[in-house]
Amino acid sequence: MREGLAAKFIFVYRPATGVKRYIIKGKLHTLLLGVCLLGLQWANAQVKFYTQVNESTIQFPQTFQVQYVIEGSRSVQNFKIPEFADFRVEGTFDYQNTTSIQAQTRQLLESYTKIVILSPRRSGRFTIPGAIAVVDGKKLRSAPVKVLVQRTGLSSVNTGNEEVDIESATELQPGEDVTEEIHKNFFLRTEVNKTSCYVGEPIMAVYKAYSRLSTTAQVVKRPSLNGFSVIEMVDGYDNKQEVEVYKGNAYYVNIIRKVQLIPLQEGNFTLDPAEVEGLIHFRKKDVASGSWVPADYPVSVRSQPVELDIKSLPPANQPNHFAGAVGNFNIAVHAPTTTIRQGDLVKIKVIVSGTGNLTLLTAPVVKWPRGVDTADPAVKEDVNKYVYPLSGSKEFEYSFAAPDTGNCTIPAVEFPYYDPDRKEYKTAMSEPVTMHIIAAVSKAETAERNAVLVQGNQTGIPRHMYFFAAIVLGIAGWVFYQSWQLRKAKQLAKQAPPKEEIALPPVQPEINADEWLVIAREALQQSDKKLFCQEIQKALWKMIAQKCQVSPSALNKQNIAGALTAQAVPADTIQSLVSILNECEWALYTPGEQVDDMKRIFYETRTLLQQLQQV
């Protein structure tokens, strides 16, 4: 273009002064164009330092991820994360000097990322402060980001200040509708952190039971989650209750299931509901006597189904060899640091780390050098399933025989993935790895080493053969000694007169009821209702199991009457035992319920243990 402009102005007919003026003007345009192009190149190479969160709305007290990203520079020093007054730092990790490929321009982009996992201390609107770093010799600060923390979280929240009014909620006043009271005070909810996402993008789902009533219930149907890869976020589901405020009321909450779901295909999906059955223990006032009497109502509740819209990943700018990775990842290749000889077994580790659908990642494409022949890699995962989204690493270990001598270079490995936060494809890149392979050990060197092993041995017998011979002699001597002792024992047995064996009746172990109830007595003195009831139950079940000669796990309240009757236990003793078990169960599993007379239960249990021992 510059030559065209010059030719145009040179060949136009003008007086001499005009020709000179036009030539200068053309060169000035060319100079301005060059300055503009340089400015564009500088803008493309400009360093970017920004703060990014994976979610702008966080459910209390769930963890979330903050990323501090520096793009366009490899010189990053003195990186300092800020103080987080309103959050707890659960963990930090960084990707130093990583290389990725921009999907639009296919240009290499150097970046440094510091990731911080935070959990909120309370609900409200907060500002995530920026980080500070020295980039290319200049001190930079990233911009802050605002987030909203909501207390209607995806897990039970122990407020510590709220109390659930069980007593008033379980008292049925005249004219109150039982069905309506149950509907308001006992229900299930399914909570998800998003209802629309891409294939491969994790979703967190929590099934919870809310109750303000005295309830004895059990889960009869856990949801099946077809169409998703399911990662459990809880090791074991127990009966531990927390308190959560929902729509202004405090409830006891139990987690039924808490999972991360990774969609496997696009489409509209419905999460199956959970189902719980049980008894609601109300109290009604008797009109005649004016006292409160128990009234149990069976109940079966289900959570509402949740609709999810799963979108396919965008086809535009999708990189080659893309295999469905969704999240934020880094890749590294590790080679042996020891000396490698020709023919040695070499193990190369390709490690993909980051956050996202780690469990579904497949091995990246590696361009192996000529002469290298590998089998399928051994795969190992190190994933933290307790945080959302999944974080950790996945390792692919390849093994092959070292090829010819010289330098063997594994080119940079590319790992394409989709970043749902930035809504764009990225490609992480490793550094190339070069291994220096030296010649294998020659036969002459091997012979020399063998000669050293037998040096000083005049007979030419390897030294380890002597140790082997000593072991054989020792074993032979031990076998001879045992045979001699056996023959001697048989001879003595023939000479001795036979002894008459007397069969003894089985001895029933004596039970000291006070020893079995030591902890229960201490709980009685300290008015510890929960511990007292647990120890009373434990002592009774232990005695029943011993009396019936079965394991405690094989017994329940439905079959103990028959089992004890078979052992000739009187009916009134069985009735007293079942009554105490029911009282303790009511006190343990009905929040707000108190044991009427702990001292009476203690002495009745002591008497029962003694009676059962004597039967």
Give the model's pLDDT for residue 462: 67
Strands 267-271 and 327-334: unpaired
Name the nearest CA neighbour of 197 among 265, 117, 150.
265
Domain 166-311: CATH class, spelled out: mainly beta
What mean pLDDT do residues 359-368 have?
93
Q: Is the pLDDT of residue 314 over 90?
A: yes
Q: What integer best gives the mean pLDDT of the chain?
A: 79
Give the model's pLDDT for residue 108: 65
**Burial degree of 131 (CB within 10 A; 0-12, 13-18, 19+):** buried
Q: Is the pLDDT of residue 167 over 70?
A: no
Give the model's pLDDT for residue 24: 39
Residue 15: pLDDT band with limits 50, 70, 90: very low
List C-alpha distances in Å: 460 to 248, 354, 448, 468, 587: 92, 59, 15, 16, 84
What mean pLDDT do residues 495-519 have?
60
Computed on alpha carbons and rounded to an integer, the radius of gyration of the chain in Å comes to 39
Note the pLDDT tens digit of each residue in 532-584.
Answer: 888 888 888 888 888 887 665 566 666 777 788 888 888 788 888 888 887 88
Q: Decide: 329 and 356 in contact? Cβ < 8 Å.
A: yes
Q: Is the pLDDT of residue 30 over 50?
A: no
- Report the distance separating Cα 384 and Cα 391, nearest Å: 5
Q: Higher-confidence residue: 297 or 162?
A: 297
Q: Decide: 574 and 500 in contact? Cβ < 8 Å.
A: no
Residue 23: pLDDT band with limits 50, 70, 90: very low
Q: What percent of the chain has pLDDT over 90?
A: 27
Cβ contacts of residue 467 below 8 Å, gap of 6+? none
Min mean pLDDT across 51-55, 196-200, 311-315, 340-344 is at: 51-55
Q: Higher-confidence residue: 365 or 451?
A: 365
Residue 505: pLDDT band with limits 50, 70, 90: very low
Strands 249-263 and 203-211: antiparallel
Q: Higher-confidence residue: 413 or 440?
A: 413
> Which of 165-169, 279-283, 376-380, 461-465 is the most confident on average?
376-380
What mean pLDDT do residues 129-151 have?
88
Helix, strand or coil for residue 15?
A: coil
What mean pLDDT do residues 276-296 have?
82
Tokens at 615, concatenated: 């039967």
Residue 12: pLDDT band with limits 50, 70, 90: very low
Tokens at 187, concatenated: 């229900």
Name the nearest CA neighbour of 595 among 525, 529, 520.
529
Please state the φ and ψ torsions of residue 257, each to the nearest 5 degrees: -160, 140
The third-level CATH classification (topology) of the domain covering 48-150 is Jelly Rolls (2.60.120)
Residue 521: pLDDT band with limits 50, 70, 90: confident
Give the model's pLDDT for residue 8: 36
DSSP class of 610: H
What mean pLDDT do residues 124-138 have?
89
Name the nearest CA neighbour of 268 among 305, 231, 232.
305
Q: What angle do CA 80, 81, 86 make, to 5 degrees?
A: 150
- Report the distance separating Cα 253 and Cα 598, nearest Å: 28
Note the pLDDT tens digit of each residue in 384-439.
Answer: 988 888 899 999 999 998 888 888 899 999 999 999 989 999 999 999 999 998 98
Give the model's pLDDT for residue 247: 87
Q: Is the pLDDT of residue 3 over 50?
A: no
Q: Omega of the bond prior to 129 within 30 degrees of 0, cis?
A: no
Min mean pLDDT across 33-47, 52-66, 220-234 is at: 33-47
Q: Is the pLDDT of residue 17 over 80?
A: no
Give the model's pLDDT for residue 101: 56
Min mean pLDDT across 275-289, 469-483, 541-555 is at: 541-555
Q: Higher-confidence residue: 152 or 361?
A: 361
Which CATH architecture fits 327-438?
Sandwich (2.60)
